[in-house]
A and B are shown apart, each in its own frame.
Chain A
C-alpha cells in the first residue's frame, strides 16, 4: 500500500469514528467501530466454527503448556476435583461412537466431568481462548489454545497421542465428542412463548389425606452454616437458632482488623482461610509452622512475590506480583502474629 493510500485509509477511519451514523436517531451519540476494534473484541467461536482463527497445536505441545499453566487447578490429567470439578473422566469409546454418554443412562456417574457434558468442541476452544488460564485470561496464542485443547481431548481418548488439532480438522473432531447427541432444546424454558412441563392444580380444601415427610436437615448439619442466631435480626417476631458459639443476633460486631480487608483486596482469601485450609494452608497454620523461625518474615515475603513451591500440598501458590511491597510486608507481619480478626 502506498503512503498516500495509507493516509487516506487512516483519514477515513477517523472520519467514520468521529461522525454519527447516517441512520442514527440520536445524533452525536455513539460512533462506528473501526475494523481493528471489532477484530480485537469479536473473539467468539460458534459451533459452526465461525470466528475460529487459523492455527494448530499438537498433543505434545499441549502437555508442556498444561504442566506450566493448567495443572495447578485441573491436575496433570484434567482429573483433579480440588479447585474445580473434573474436566476429564466418565466417558468411554462407545460414547465417542454413539455421541451419548452411557453413564447418564446407567446412572452410575458419581460426578459429571466437562467432557461428559460438552456437546460442541467450539465451546472449549472459545472458553480456553477467552478465559484461561484462570489468573491470566486471554494470554494464550491461538496455536497454544489448539495445543492445550489437543492434550485435553487426548486425555479423554478422543484423539490419539500423535494428534495435531487445527482449524482444518476441528469440525471432524467435534463429531467425536462423547455427548454430542445428548442435548435437547425441546422444553418450554427457552422460547419466549414456551409452555411449562410440570403441572399443579390449586386445590384449596382437604387436598391430602396424609403428609409424608420426605427429607429433613440432619442434626449434624444444623451448624454447618455457622451460628444461625448471628444470621438473624435481634428484634422482631423471631430469633435465629443458636446452633454454635456466638454472640447472637443484634450484638454489635467489633471492627475487623485492617489486614482482613487487605487480604481480600489482594486476593489472598480466595485460597487461604484464617483458621481453615482452602486451597492453601490456613494463615494460623502458617504462623504455627514458622513460630520460632526468625528468618520467616523475609522468607515469606519473597515467597508471596515469587510464588510458592508447593511445600504445603499439591497446589503451589502462583506469584503474587500485583501486591505492593508495603502490603505484602504488612500482611506477613499480621499472619505471623496469628492473624487476629479484630
Chain B
C-alpha cells in the first residue's frame, strides 16, 4: 500500500520520478505564451488557470514561483461592482471564476487585501454575489444571472462561502436537500435530480455535504464501490462505467473516496504509476493520458491525486477544497 512501503511495488518501468522542476517551469511559462493562439482562445479560463497553476506550485512546494503582488493585482482586476469576478478583465462575472478568485486569495493569504482594495463591501460583497445565485425554491445554484444550474455551482458556492466564513448567507438545508435529490441507486450523484452518476458531479455533491457537515447522508459503502470500479486496467480512473481513463478523475474519484474513507479500495500504486506516466518529463505538465498534450487542468488534478496518494515530494492536499491542507488549516482554523 502507498505510504506504507513508499511505492516500492511499482513495476520497474513505472519507477517514475516526479518531474518537479519541469512542472514548476511549465507553470511559470503559462502566462508567457502570448504568441500561442490557444493562449487567447482560453482567456475565459484565465482566473481558473491561475488557481490551477498556483495550487500546483503550492503542492510542489514552490509557492513563491509566481509573484504574490502581481497575483493579487490580477485577481482584483477581474472583480465587478456586484462582488463577482470574471475570468479576466472585461469578462462577465461568473460563479466559476469567483470561486477561483476566492481560492487564490485564500492560497496567498490575501483576504485582507480583498477587504481594503476590492470592490466596495469587500468579502461581504463577494458573499452577496454568490448567495444571490441560490435558487431559493430548490436550493441549488446558478452559474450566473442567465440561470444555468448545476451541482458544480452549488459546490463552488459552498467552497467559496465557507472559506470566506459566510455560509450563513445561504439556505444550507435546502442545498443539502437538493444534493440528496441528485443521488442515484448506485450510490453516486448527477448534475441535477434524475441525471446519471458522474465522478465529477459526485465529488461536488460529496464535498458539499462535507462542508455542510452532513456526510451522514451519504451511502458510503455503495458509493465507495461505484468509485472503486472506476479504476481500470493500467491503473487509471474513468468517470463513468465503460469509459476511458483520464488523469483528471484521479482527483474527482480519489478525493470522493477520501471523503468516505475508502481510498484503500483501489490500487494506489497503479494509480500513481498512471499519473506519473502522463507527465511530460522534459517540458513539464501532465496530460489526460500518456503521450497527449499537457495542460494546467490535468497538471493540478494529477498532482492533487498524487498528493492524496501521499506520493513523496508533495505537500498534503485537502480532499474537500483542493487546496493545500496548510491553507485550509490557516483559513478555517482546522
Q: Do A and B come from one complex?
A: no
